[in-house]
Chains A and B, each alone.
Chain A
């Protein structure tokens, strides 16, 4: 057990149980369960089409699962009685294609949710937003519009946007897949720093370097199910399934360590 896991409180921030999702004839998620304790960082890997993104979207209910339950803390967010907007405000989401609000500056992108959703005053929200932008290293780009920023900068702003809501956990959906190679590093740096600061993070990515650095666990999915999960070294050196090893080798080959 490494130091991070010792430090983490044994409180479940996220509990996902038996999530199923079918699109037409395609049974994409066939019963997936995940648990996250505070401060944990987990990475989901697997072949494309295996439902990794779908799983993330089922967690924050951007997609409604056909079956299954999700708890955020003690609150079951899949229950119809729960206000889903409220739950989403507590879960950060970082998209592969950034999805920054194109008509707003970086500063406005970050502070609009605190102001409109959390009803924060403008001065307070601005201070908060600048702080988060600072945290991702983009305080000087506060007045820039998304179209004026590079991909890596946009993604960092979108992380700041998620952080500004003080989320209980952040979901990352292939955050670097749409970036040019030179820009990937700056985003991963931010993500690593976040993990080290104790943010609870669940990321779909093939950046094994990131996984090795901060992941408490790697989850390997295939065919809509979790095939294997465990600490990075274990999966790399001693995978229980041949398929796991195969896949890990493949991505190491393609994307480096």
Chain B
């Protein structure tokens, strides 16, 4: 039992803060980058739209671990830029998340019905005003469910940062179980893995709950049943 408590303690004090920081950091950066990309992809001039689409394809198509290694080893070899491992992981994963997030926002913007834009323009709003006051508020609400998925997804991706030496949750778990198997036996590897799975699960649960609350707070009464009012 004390092994379990000791291990949990290590996981929570050493691994967890890094994982949380990495997750929140990369989501925030991904948002900062992904939203403008989505916006430009919907409203920008053609060459810009083309570029954004390319960006999206590239960073969604490359495996996260490859991106991480590119930032870590690639940059140092080619350009002699030595980033701390945490920063490499953060940037690589943020870039990737920005591509997924831009996809989410783009979908949300485009799924706001065309009639909304027409109505906004018909009362004299400029395109920019219409986007700001009519399209985006709706797109924001529409994007929450998908964004919740992105959160769950990137939380697990953060474990890839261990490959370049970032001491996050998974790496910490590895250090624990490689020791524990000598002291208590190899079956304890499974115990540690279950513990770390539990921690990840709790993180996911907390995040999803928070986002669910946000969704509820911003919900439009009857919005889901939009189809019903047409007739």
Q: Do chains A and B touch in the complex (CB under 8 A)?
A: yes
CA distance A36 to B38 in the complex (A): 44
Q: Does B12 contact A (CB under 8 A)?
A: no
CA distance A101 to B117 in the complex (A): 9
Residue of A whose beta carbon sits closest to that of B112: A102
B190-229, CB < 8 A from A: 220-223, 225-226, 228-229
Q: Does A139 contact B (CB under 8 A)?
A: no
Whether A101 lies near B119 (C-beta < 8 A) is yes
Q: Does B14 contact A (CB under 8 A)?
A: no
CA distance A99 to B230 in the complex (A): 9
Q: Does B141 contact A (CB under 8 A)?
A: yes
Total contacts A-B at CB 8 Å = 90
CA distance A140 to B80 in the complex (A): 68
Chain A contacts of B124 at CB under 8 A?
Answer: 85-86, 88-90, 113, 117-118, 165
CA distance A113 to B125 in the complex (A): 7
- Tell me whether A147 and B225 are in contact in the complex, defined as CB-CB below 8 angstroms, given that A60-B122, A117-B124 are known contacts: yes
Whether B129 lies near A116 (C-beta < 8 A) is yes
A105-142, CB < 8 A from B: 112-113, 116-118
Whether B222 lies near A148 (C-beta < 8 A) is yes
Whether B134 lies near A101 (C-beta < 8 A) is yes
The 6 A-B residue pairs whose C-beta atoms are closest, nearest first, are: A89-B124, A147-B222, A99-B119, A93-B122, A113-B123, A99-B115
B contact set with A: CB distance below 8 Å: 115-116, 118-126, 129, 133-134, 137-138, 141, 220-223, 225-226, 228-231
- 18 interchain pairs, CB-CB under 8 A: A62-B118, A85-B121, A88-B124, A92-B123, A97-B115, A99-B118, A101-B119, A102-B220, A102-B223, A103-B138, A113-B123, A116-B133, A118-B124, A145-B223, A151-B229, A154-B229, A158-B119, A180-B231
A contact set with B: CB distance below 8 Å: 60, 62, 85-86, 88-93, 95, 97-103, 112-113, 116-118, 145-149, 151, 154, 158, 161-162, 165, 178, 180
